[in-house]
Structure 1
Amino acid sequence: MMFKDVETAIAVIEKRCNQSHGLAPIQTFMHELGDPQDDLKIIHVAGTNGKGSTVNDLRSILQIAGYTVGTFTSPYLEKHQDRIRINDEFIDDEELLEYFNRYFDRWCELELSMFEIDTAIAFLYCHNHHVDFMVLETGLGGLLDSTNIIKAPLISVITNIGMDHMAVLGNTYEAIAHQKAGIIKPDSLFVTAERKPECLKVFQTVCDAKHTAFHQTAEPKKVRLENGHIHFDYRDCKNISLYGPARYQADNASLAIEVIQLLRGASYVQVSEAQLREGLLQANWKGRFEVIHQHPTVILDGAHNPQGIDALCRSLQDYPQVHILFTALRDKKSDDMIRSLLAITPDVTVTTFDFYRASSLEALGNDLPIKRAADYRQAIEAGLNQPGTFVITGSLYFISEVRAYFKKRKESLLSEYR
């Protein structure tokens, strides 16, 4: 099959659902191409929350240090192409279309899913462009994730463990930790920002069995908001400044610092403290505590599970008169998340959006003191007419739609003034 344009190709690829066929099909495909992923210097990142932010922090630091850095993240926020980047630039449409047309028939024969296809393209793209490093985010879990066909990453990273995707990963912290720990490889390096003893025990056991060095981050100290930026201390690095105002990003940045220090200690990278600081200051990860509008302040945050919502709530303590618009996917613990939001403000509105995994309006917050809005666009317009801080959260897929709505809204307002 030949596609004439990339939009048509993406629409077809996005309909290819996840399969339960293990890693063999994508391994077969990559082996037919000579296993280009084995030539890449990879930093592999898994975890329940903070993966994308940690990947972006690492990308920014390494890029500031002069390296060419490929990244693979999911889901997309602006458009499908933003999953695959080099130096924060989306994959080129023409090259993406070329991959689609060259390999689509073989993907169909192997029954590869959209995520497997994206993973394969990311490996090919980074290999063909001779990146110095690839920072690779898992899609789900780790052990059976399609990114886990790599054999020898420079370092394996697990941000944290929360109760999410339990139907697939298990319903205990230990079970989920075991799945995530599947990315740990023999005779390598491993680091985590996790704190729960039961999870750390799993990681240590896997590291011991694979003769891999186990490392854990320290707690960031003196985390504070000053002039719209988070500042904190980490070990011997004092007064580190971050791009945005989210307190939870201090944890992700601390993990990135630890990764860079371990890579530097192993002589894999040369990064000065000045480059590390500048990289963190420039690392803007959209959709995570993103201030998208002023007067009133509008914050978009892709928190999509109880752990993420709790982290969001801690950051919102710095803001006055908080109003919240929330939705969630139907497999999430939405009522638990709503209760956490109600603990910081009585003004919570739930809504829904046009996505096959979205929760229905009726299923959100039954018996909880919330408002309901069938049309999220009307809810946004109402929120923009209130003073204080308007927060939109609950799903990265929803945040993607909301960002597009704000972009279209801004363009419409500009055209009226012309």
Structure 2
Amino acid sequence: MSASGSDIILERMMSLHPKIIDLTLDRVWRLLAATGHPERALPPVVHVAGTNGKGSTLAMIRAGLEGAGQVCHAYTSPHLARFHERIRVAGDLIDEDALTALLDEALAKNGDEAITFFEITTVAALLAFARTKADWTLLEVGLGGRLDATNVVAAPRLCVITPIDFDHEQYLGDTIAKIAFEKAGILKSGSTCVVAAQHAEARDVIRAQAEKVGAPLVVQGQDFDSWEERGRLVYQDTRGLLDLPMPNLPGPHQIVNAGTALAALRALGQDDAACEAAVTRAFWPARMQRLRQGPLVEAAGQAELWLDGGHNPAAGRAIAAALARMPRTRTHLIVGMLNTKDVTGFLRPLAEIATDLHAVSIPGASATLPADETAAAGRAVGLPTTVAPSVLDAIADIVGRDPAARILICGSLYLAGDVLKTNG
């Protein structure tokens, strides 16, 4: 398939700055000024930061708002199969012509100045949102919060911080408190922030920052909570109790995410129907997603094929907990990871529930961890491990020995994106 106009422009944008990640807001402010400050003309903003659950929580908030008949812009990252997934304008993924025009405009306004790929594409998304009528703008932080390119809205209608844990330590710091400081950088004076369940040190940092800037907090475990009871999701806050279906996004960690999304919807003044839509209509790919059709599913035959993009220790724990709740069967892992991740920390909780591991390298990812290094980490945590040339080869090897088992492909959103492309 030939490259589209947006693909060509995006490739040019990758060369505008020697560093893929360089956290500062100076370049963003410069380009926003050059494009007429679109961040000042957005529909009311919900800004979502955190380590784990940002995408799922935002998807539930969007499902709730749209279920109530409201129109949402949404900006998320990274994409899985196509860049267009990052920008949803008035409920729909941005189309090719509109994306190409916006990228061209941002590139022209930037000129020859240095700027990162994420920064310039964020400005393009804000231009799209400022020019199209909607009821809400949902912005997911790309990395951190304080210096993230999305952190340019002076007065969000609502901020949300999902659970904070270790990830991107080379950019955000090597303690939970340091990471929490970066995430809490999205807090703004007078803007309420819904805070999911946190480590005590993260909660303390968020509280201190909220007091410093004058941001009211709505905190899980204090102002609201959510739990499973008799196969239902129960949510409680100062307004009362909701008895809802379990989230259609699988895994016990989604109970926390659902509670956070419901608290956000209640803070936005939404009704019970919006809350039910949040848990029953949300869809977020590569988060314990069962693949049900496509070439890889056909190759798996009778085996269940699952996909998850989690890639840090907290995600490993969440995946293990989700697997533990499924009907018991032999579970084979196919894992590919980036060389910036804590591979051992991710695999350790999975070793307690998985049968074995097939290690792969991630196609097309320059920062992929070589499959033999992933295999070594698997053996170090006690998993019988094999190196496979590809995901398809790993599937074939597994079903040749265990045709009716469960197969979970995991370890990276980049690997998940390649799988979704391969699987059609």
Contact 2:13 2:117 (C-alpha < 8 Å) held by counterparts? yes
2:13 aligns with 13
C-alpha distance after superposition, 1:344-373 (max 9, x if no partner): 123122111221111012222424332221
Aligned amino acid, residue 282 of structure 1: R
1:388 paired residue among 393, 405, 410: 405
| In structure 1, distance between residues paired with 2:4 and 2:317 | 45
| In structure 2, distance between residues paired with 1:353 and 1:244 | 25
Which of 244-253 and 112-121 deviates more? 244-253
Aligned amino acid, residue 255 of structure 2: A
Unaligned runs of 5+ residues in structure 2 are none
1:400 aligns with 417
1:234 aligns with 235
Percent identical: 27
Aligned amino acid, residue 397 of structure 2: A
C-alpha distance after superposition, 1:149-185 (max 9, x if no partner): 1111111111011111001100001000001100001
1:228 aligns with none
| In structure 1, distance between residues paired with 2:235 and 2:141 | 26
Q: CA RMSD in A?
A: 1.9
Unaligned runs of 5+ residues in structure 1 are 226-230, 265-270, 408-418
Aligned amino acid, residue 339 of structure 1: R
| In structure 1, distance between residues paired with 2:103 and 2:389 | 38
| In structure 1, distance between residues paired with 2:51 and 2:219 | 16
Indicate whether 1:99 and 2:114 are aligned.
no
2:351 paired residue among 333, 342, 345: 342
User: Offset of 1:4 from its aligned partner?
Assistant: 7.9
How many residue pairs were aligned? Answer: 394
Contact 1:338 1:365 (C-alpha < 8 Å) held by counterparts? no
After TM superposition, the structure 1 = structure 2 runs for residues 84-123 of structure 1, keeping only pairs within 5 Å, are: 84-123=87-126
| In structure 2, distance between residues paired with 1:200 and 1:4 | 45
| In structure 1, distance between residues paired with 2:338 and 2:24 | 25
Contact 1:63 1:87 (C-alpha < 8 Å) held by counterparts? no
| In structure 2, distance between residues paired with 1:202 and 1:6 | 41
Indicate whether 1:363 and 2:370 are aligned.
no
C-alpha distance after superposition, 1:40-88 (max 9, x if no partner): 2110001111111111111111111111101111110120111000354
User: Offset of 1:223 from its aligned partner?
Assistant: 5.7
Contact 1:327 1:359 (C-alpha < 8 Å) held by counterparts? yes
| In structure 2, distance between residues paired with 1:65 and 1:14 | 39
Aligned amino acid, residue 369 of structure 2: S
Other structure's SS at 1:363 match: helix
1:298 aligns with 305
Which of 301-310 and 276-285 deviates more? 276-285
Which of 368-377 and 51-60 deviates more? 368-377
User: Offset of 1:296 from its aligned partner?
Assistant: 1.9
| In structure 1, distance between residues paired with 2:194 and 2:256 | 13
Aligned amino acid, residue 285 of structure 1: W
User: Offset of 1:342 from its aligned partner?
Assistant: 1.2
After TM superposition, the structure 1 = structure 2 runs for residues 49-198 of structure 1, keeping only pairs within 5 Å, are: 49-198=52-201
User: Offset of 1:279 from its aligned partner?
Assistant: 3.2
1:209 aligns with 212
C-alpha distance after superposition, 1:104-156 (max 9, x if no partner): 13324231211011211111111111221111011110011011111111111
TM-score where L is the length of structure 2: 0.88
Which of 10-19 and 345-354 deviates more? 10-19
C-alpha distance after superposition, 1:287-318 (max 9, x if no partner): 11110037321110111101011001101012
Which of 202-211 and 186-195 deviates more? 186-195
C-alpha distance 383-108 of structure 1, shift in aligned 2 (>3 A)? farther
TM-score where L is the length of structure 1: 0.89
Other structure's SS at 1:324 match: strand
Contact 2:67 2:273 (C-alpha < 8 Å) held by counterparts? no
Other structure's SS at 1:390 match: strand
1:412 aligns with none
Other structure's SS at 2:109 match: helix
